[in-house]
């Protein structure tokens, strides 16, 4: 099944898993165009994160909700730096653990823990729906958040169920990443030099739209999207695209929101578009 993407140019946007994604696409014969968009950084003030870790150790949470795998990895990084990692893992082992999609579950397994339940859909709404079926009255709930998202609906829903919610935000996005890379990517799409753009998290969609707006390129971005097949890894990304009036052309089959199923879906769609790729 190799070389399914021969003759195609695929734009991918910088993420923590960019190198792996790029490698998988290249193995299928694609020419990968990479666009560094932003970087993920530790929380600028580690004190609140460390305090959350110490609260978790001193009195284990009844429930732990992880929104991203990156969040747990950043928490563990700080815990190791403070010599608290073993105590933290021992504490989290005592909690019921819930994850937003599969990525936080993989991060848990890296520290030999498992989630008791994972959302059917990797969205905040999916988390609210999953936890809404539980009795949380009087339970201490540790909630790992992620940047660039208003979490008021989630924390409000949990508090309304009677949970004592203790939040932590262990990382930030660097908003000063070179806009020139994004502008160049918009130009590539608008000029028809890209066959497909592969989007793997909703922050990428927001960053594209915000940068286009800041540089007066909103019309050019939309023109680029008209000429380019838009591939989305799952419902969260597709929902963000829809919120900006943008479509999803390619997505993995339901419940297979991973890179390899996305690449398979892209190969099928791009095979039909191959005459364009040869232009």
In order along its 279 residues, the chain shows pLDDT tens digits of 567 888 899 999 876 556 778 888 888 889 999 998 777 889 999 999 999 999 999 999 999 999 999 999 999 999 999 999 999 999 999 999 999 988 899 999 999 999 999 998 788 999 999 999 999 999 999 999 998 778 999 999 999 999 999 999 999 987 676 788 899 999 999 999 999 999 988 889 999 999 999 999 999 999 999 999 999 999 999 999 999 999 999 999 876 767 888 888 999 888 876 554 444
| Contact (Cβ atoms closer than 8 angstroms) between residue 51 and residue 58 | no
CA distance 80 to 96: 22
CATH fold for the domain made of 9-39+177-277: Rossmann fold (3.40.50)
**DSSP-derived secondary structure for 196-247:** EEEE-SHHHHHHHHHHHHHTT-HHHHHHHHHHSEEEESSHHHHHHHHHTT--
CATH 3.40.50.10090 residue ranges for the chain: 9-39+177-277, 42-173
Tokens of 215: 């540089």
For 42-173, CATH number out of 2.40.50.320, 3.40.50.10090, 1.20.120.550, 3.40.50.1000 equals 3.40.50.10090
| Contact (Cβ atoms closer than 8 angstroms) between residue 101 and residue 67 | no
Q: At what angle do helices 18-27 and 259-272 cross, to 10 degrees?
A: 40
Full-model pTM: 0.66
CA distance 43 to 279: 46
């Amino acid at each position: 099944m190799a070389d399914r993407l021969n003759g195609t140019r695929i734009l991918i946007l910088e993420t923590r898993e960019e190198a792996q994604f790029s490698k998988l696409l290249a193995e299928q014969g694609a020419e990968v165009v990479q666009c560094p968009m932003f970087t993920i950084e530790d929380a600028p003030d580690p004190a609140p994160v460390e305090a959350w870790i110490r609260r978790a150790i001193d009195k284990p949470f009844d429930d732990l909700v992880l929104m991203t795998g990156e969040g747990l990895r950043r928490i563990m990084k700080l815990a190791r730096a403070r010599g608290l990692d073993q105590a933290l893992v021992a504490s989290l082992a005592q909690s019921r653990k819930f994850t937003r999609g599969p990525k936080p579950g993989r991060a848990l397994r890296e520290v030999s823990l498992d989630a008791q339940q994972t959302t059917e859909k990797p969205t905040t709404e999916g988390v609210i729906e999953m936890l809404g079926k539980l009795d949380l009255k009087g339970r201490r709930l540790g909630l790992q958040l992620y940047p660039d998202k208003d979490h008021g609906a989630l924390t409000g829903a949990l508090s309304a169920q009677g949970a004592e919610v203790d939040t932590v935000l262990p990382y930030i996005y660097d908003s000063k990443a070179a806009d020139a890379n994004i502008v160049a990517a918009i130009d590539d799409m608008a000029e028809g030099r890209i066959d497909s753009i592969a989007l793997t998290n909703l922050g990428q969609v927001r960053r594209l739209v915000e940068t286009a707006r800041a540089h007066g390129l909103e019309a050019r971005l939309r023109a680029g999207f008209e000429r380019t097949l838009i591939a989305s890894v799952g419902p969260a990304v597709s929902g963000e695209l829809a919120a900006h009036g943008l479509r999803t052309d390619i997505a993995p089959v339901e419940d297979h929101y991973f890179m390899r199923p996305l690449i398979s879906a892209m190969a099928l769609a791009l095979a039909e578009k191959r005459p364009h790729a040869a232009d």
